[in-house]
Structure 1
Amino acid sequence: MSDYDVIVLGGGPGGYLAAERLGHAGRKVALIEADALGGTCLNVGCIPTKTLLNSAKIYAHAVHGEQFGVKAEASYDWAKMQSWKAEVVKTLVTGVGSTEKAAGVKVIKGYGRYEGPGRVSVDGKALTCEHVILATGSVPVMPPIPGTKDNPRVVDSTGLLSIPEVPKRLAVIGGGVIGVEFASLFSMLGSEVTVIEMLDIAKTMRKAMKDVTFKLGCKVESVDDGKVNYTTKSGKAESFEADTILMAVGRKPALTGWGLEGSGIEHTKQGITVDEFQRTNVANVWAIGDVT
Structure 2
Amino acid sequence: MTDFDVIILGGGPGGYIAAERLGHAGKKVLLIEEVALGGTCLNVGCIPTKTLLNAAKTYEHAVHGAPFGVVAGDVTVDWTKMQEWKAEVVSKLVAGVGATEKKAGVTVVDGRGIFNGPGSVSVGDKTYSGDHVILATGSVPVMPPIPGTEDNPALVDSTGMLAVESIPERLTVIGGGVIGLEFASLFATLGSRVTVVEMLPEIAPFMDSQIAGQLRGALKGIDFKLGCKVTSLDGGTVNYTTADGTETSVDSDVVLMAVGRRPAVQGWGAQESGLEHSRAGIVVDDRMRTNLPNVWAVGDVTGRSLLAHAAYRMGEIAAANIIDGEAHRRGEVMRWNTVPWAVYSIPEVAGIGLSEDAARAEGREVITHTVPGYMSGRFVAENGFRAPGAAKIVIDARSRQVLGLTVLGAYAAEMIWGASVVLETELDIFDLRQIVFPHPTVSELIREAAWAIDA
Same fold (TM over 0.5): yes
Q: CA deviation at 1:216?
A: 0.5
Give the structure 1 partner of residue 190 of structure 2.
189
1: CA distance between counterparts of 2:284 and 2:151?
36
Contact 1:48 1:85 in 2 (8 A): yes
Q: How many residues align?
A: 292
Give the structure 1 partner of residue 59 of structure 2.
59
Q: CA deviation at 1:145?
A: 0.7
2: CA distance between counterparts of 1:19 and 1:185?
34
2: CA distance between counterparts of 1:27 and 1:205?
46
2: CA distance between counterparts of 1:250 and 1:212?
19
Give the structure 1 partner of residue 8 of structure 2.
8
- Structure 2: 5+ residue stretches without partners: 204-211, 303-455
Give 1 or 2 for the bigger CA radius of gyration. 2
- Match runs of 1:77-88 below 5 Å: 77-88=78-89
Contact 2:290 2:296 in 1 (8 A): yes
- Does residue 29 of structure 2 align to residue 19 of structure 1? no
Give the structure 2 partner of residue 245 of structure 1.
255
Selected match of 1:266 from 276, 286, 299: 276
- Match runs of 1:1-292 below 5 Å: 1-69=1-69, 70-199=71-200, 200-201=202-203, 202-292=212-302
Matching residue's letter, 2:14: G
Matching residue's letter, 2:10: G
Deviations 1:65-123 (A, max 9, x none): 34544132111111110010011111111111111111100011111110122111112
Report the more deviating stretch, 202-211 or 274-283.
Answer: 202-211
Contact 2:189 2:220 in 1 (8 A): no
Matching residue's letter, 2:41: C
1: CA distance between counterparts of 2:74 and 2:272?
61
- Structure 1: 5+ residue stretches without partners: none
Report the more deviating stretch, 206-215 or 170-179.
Answer: 206-215
2: CA distance between counterparts of 1:291 and 1:210?
34
2: CA distance between counterparts of 1:114 and 1:203?
45
1: CA distance between counterparts of 2:153 and 2:137?
27
Which structure shows the higher helix fraction? 2
Taking CA–CA contacts closer than 8 Å with sequence separation of 6 or more, which of the two structures ends up with the larger relative contact order?
1
Report the more deviating stretch, 35-44 or 55-64.
Answer: 55-64
1: CA distance between counterparts of 2:256 and 2:271?
30
Deviations 1:158-215 (A, max 9, x none): 1100111111100000000110000000011110000000121322112211311000
Percent identical:
67
Indicate the RMSD between aligned Cα atoms, in angstroms.
Answer: 1.1
Matching residue's letter, 1:209: L
2: CA distance between counterparts of 1:7 and 1:191?
45
Deviations 1:122-178 (A, max 9, x none): 123111111110000111111111001110111000110011111110000000011
Q: CA deviation at 1:276?
A: 1.8
Q: CA deviation at 1:23?
A: 0.7
1: CA distance between counterparts of 2:232 and 2:62?
39
2: CA distance between counterparts of 1:193 and 1:94?
35
2: CA distance between counterparts of 1:3 and 1:198?
50
2: CA distance between counterparts of 1:7 and 1:149?
37
Matching residue's letter, 1:71: A
Matching residue's letter, 1:37: L
Contact 1:62 1:73 in 2 (8 A): no
1: CA distance between counterparts of 2:46 and 2:150?
26
1: CA distance between counterparts of 2:164 and 2:116?
37
2: CA distance between counterparts of 1:53 and 1:257?
34
Q: CA deviation at 1:288?
A: 0.8
TM-score normalised by length of structure 1:
0.97
1: CA distance between counterparts of 2:213 and 2:116?
50
2: CA distance between counterparts of 1:81 and 1:211?
21
Give the 3-state SS of the residue equivalent to 2:97 in structure 1. helix
2: CA distance between counterparts of 1:124 and 1:178?
38
Contact 1:255 1:271 in 2 (8 A): yes
1: CA distance between counterparts of 2:170 and 2:117?
49
Find runs of 4+ consecutive structure 1 residues off by over 6 angstroms. none
Contact 1:65 1:72 in 2 (8 A): no
2: CA distance between counterparts of 1:170 and 1:123?
41
TM-score normalised by length of structure 2:
0.63
Contact 2:188 2:220 in 1 (8 A): no
